[in-house]
Amino acid sequence: GLEPHIDWVPEDVLREREGAPSLGRVDVVQPMLWAVMVSLAEVWRAHGVRPVAVVGHSQGELAAAVVAGVLSLEDAARIVALRSQLIGRVLAGRGGMVSLPLAVEAASELIGPWSGRVSVATVNGPRSTVVAGEAVALDELMAVCERDGVRARRVPVDYGSHSPQVELLRDALLELAASVVPRSGDV
């Protein structure tokens, strides 16, 4: 089912103990990044820093929901852990991601020839856009970028996160989140 199977101790990963899973694994790195985000927010609160607004992307969105009081720590941790396991189990090997030093409009124009195979995954800044999709299409995109002097960089993942590929997870994600009860936030 959708219950997590955790057979490692996070400390093993952090201390790079032999046999510990790699931080390169989506089911390791996403929950750990989420835990750091939520923990840092609590450290700031302990020092008197109170957010008036929060925002996040991907696991950061779930961290923001906890910090805002909209999701319980338990619900968000469950979603992050199980979602990352689904990504690794279902999407791994199906695609990839490329970071482009371009505004979203320019990136969208650049990926036009691969419409339906590559899409904008996220906008990280005014001149920083990540695209995702099929691995072969991304290889072709990288070749065009190299030819044209665009400093594109492959993101070291083998799945097209934040792309239409994620639709493969829809039913499982809805089942996973069915028991989640959002609350009124205080941030």
User: What element of type H or E holds 96?
Assistant: strand 96-100
**What local confidence, expressed as pLDDT, does residue 17 receive?**
66
* Domain ranges for the chain: 10-92+169-177, 96-157
Tell me the chain's radius of gyration from C-alpha atoms: 18
**What local confidence, expressed as pLDDT, does residue 57 receive?**
86
Higher pLDDT residue, 127 or 18? 127
Q: Per the CATH hierarchy, to which homologous superfamily does domain 96-157 belong? A: Malonyl-CoA ACP transacylase, ACP-binding (3.30.70.250)
pLDDT band at 73 (very low <50, low <70, confident <90, very high): very high
This prediction's pTM: 0.78
**Mean pLDDT score, 102-120:** 97
**Mean pLDDT score, 160-176:** 90
Look at residues 126, 110, 84 and name the one whose alpha carbon lies nearest to residue 118.
110
Residue 69 has pLDDT above 90, yes or no: yes
**What local confidence, expressed as pLDDT, does residue 149 receive?**
96
Nearest-angstrom CA–CA distance, 136 and 102: 21
Going from the C-alpha of 19 to that of each of 24, 35, 158, 181, the distances in angstroms are 14, 22, 22, 37
Q: 153, 97 in Cβ contact below 8 A?
A: no
**How far is C-alpha 64 from the chain's CA centre?**
14
Residue 136 has pLDDT above 90, yes or no: yes
Residue 9 has pLDDT above 80, yes or no: no
Nearest-angstrom CA–CA distance, 184 and 68: 9
Give 47's Cβ-side CA count (13 Å radius): 5
Nearest-angstrom CA–CA distance, 91 and 56: 22
**What local confidence, expressed as pLDDT, does residue 88 receive?**
86
**Mean pLDDT score, 76-84:** 92
Residue 2 has pLDDT above 60, yes or no: no
**What local confidence, expressed as pLDDT, does residue 8 receive?**
44
pLDDT band at 20 (very low <50, low <70, confident <90, very high): low
Q: Per the CATH hierarchy, to which homologous superfamily does domain 10-92+169-177 belong? A: Malonyl-Coenzyme A Acyl Carrier Protein, domain 2 (3.40.366.10)
Residues facing residue 153 across a β-bridge: 99
**Mean pLDDT score, 113-122:** 96
